[in-house]
Structure 1
């Protein structure tokens, strides 16, 4: 099934923000889960470090989601370049994430 450039541009322009927001939604949901897990272990009779492994795994999942957001920003920037190249979009820099956002290296814990 073939599609015109304008149809593809419209579809991508609609789906890209949806994909970007889904990562925010996943981060928010995992943050709420983290809060609930921490509050749960403050209940009477629960030892201080109960669920620590699960919390560490959730924190790792959150880091992975943040790294996925960086990749999604790169996808957005690449698609912007392609859109300009095929003249499907105009040079509206305010509609895309700035490239400077990705300059900082992610924080890594040393072993």
Structure 2
């Protein structure tokens, strides 16, 4: 394997009805920011990005910037699926000190 580089990726959702809605209104009020650690691995074929905190969330790219943009899109899609799967269930957020 190639080099591993760790990034923090900050995602921001914009208010367009619900915080998880896929359409963005850039003039709207910012409502939620999430920070994820992204592991970027280089190889002879390009880059592979993954998110340790979101199992199965991976994305490739020919260059580093492309891999980071692709993983950002993959995180949005991942969270959209989680939202759909938990839509009618009781879900609570908790904070845990580490």
TM-score in terms of structure 1 length: 0.28
- More helix per residue: 1 or 2? 1
Normalized per residue, the structure richer in strand is 2
Q: What is the TM-score of this pair, normalised by structure 2?
A: 0.31
Q: Structure with the greater relative contact order (CA < 8 A, sep ≥ 6): 1 or 2?
A: 1
